[in-house]
Amino acid sequence: MNVVILGSPGVGKGTYAKILSEKYNIPRISSGDLFREAIRDETELGKKIEDYVSRGDLVPDEITIELVKERLERDDCGNGFFIDGFPRTVAQAEALEKFKKIDKVLNFVASEWVILSRLGGRRTCRKCGAIYHIKEIPPKFEGICDLCGGKLYQRSDETPQAIKNRLRVYREKTRPVLDYFRRRGLLADIDANYHFEEISKVISQCEKHLQKLGADLRK
């Protein structure tokens, strides 16, 4: 099954997608990870991407689409995928459906207060990319990754000014994508206002939709 994961910045898409990926044994593809790989490799494309990401702006469609298309064509996506952070524009959604059939779109929804709290407290490992939260998922030792010992930092797009810009960009450019998939009968809204300790309540909502989807696909 090919599933799109949508929701505003900070809603928890990456965490939910990772859990679902492990449960259903199909890969989680993150456009953010693809961007960071390109930036880390210091390619010319990566340098262009870094300029947009550091401002909290969307990376241009043509760059994003090409990165995602190449990733979804790899062998590990043969039985399906969960794609997180893409599409973010209607043009991207239309392009995606030209090279992959989408079976379901899970849209995670949380209040703006919850989103600001989550993003403002998030920290990322410079070495392995693991994500923590200073209140909800703190590391054992402040500023140090539990997994690899790398230093934790606050991403440039998670400062207060960048967060506000990302939410503005989301409202202006990404929400039309919800309307696009809703009209196609693919969208399912998921209540993501729960604390991390109650994450099972979020995942159970997803499972209900995916179980029905699996039954429909077997028909």
Q: What percentage of the chain exceeds 90 in pLDDT?
A: 51
Domains and CATH numbers, the chain: 2-110+160-218 (3.40.50.300), 111-154 (no CATH)
Q: Look at phi and psi of residue 129 and say left if phi exceeds 0, alpha if psi is from -120 to 50, else beta.
A: left
> What does the pLDDT look like over 128-179, one tens digit per residue?
988 898 888 899 999 999 999 999 998 888 877 788 788 888 888 788 999 9
> What does the pLDDT look like over 143-152, one tens digit per residue?
999 999 999 9
* pLDDT at residue 217, as a whole number: 58
Among 28, 36, 71, 88, which one carries the catalytic annotation? 88
Among 18, 48, 55, 155, which one carries the catalytic annotation? 155
Supply the pTM of this predicted model: 0.78
Query: 8 is written with which tokens?
Result: 């505003």
Tell me, yes or no, if 40 is annotated catalytic.
Answer: no
Tell me, yes or no, if 168 is annotated catalytic.
Answer: no
Tell me, yes or no, if 13 is annotated catalytic.
Answer: yes
Sign of the Cα torsion 137, 138, 139, 145 reads positive
Tell me, yes or no, if 155 is annotated catalytic.
Answer: yes
Within 10 angstroms of residue 149's Cβ, the number of other Cβ atoms is 11
User: What CA–CA distances, in Å, run from 189 to 47, 152, 178?
Assistant: 35, 32, 10
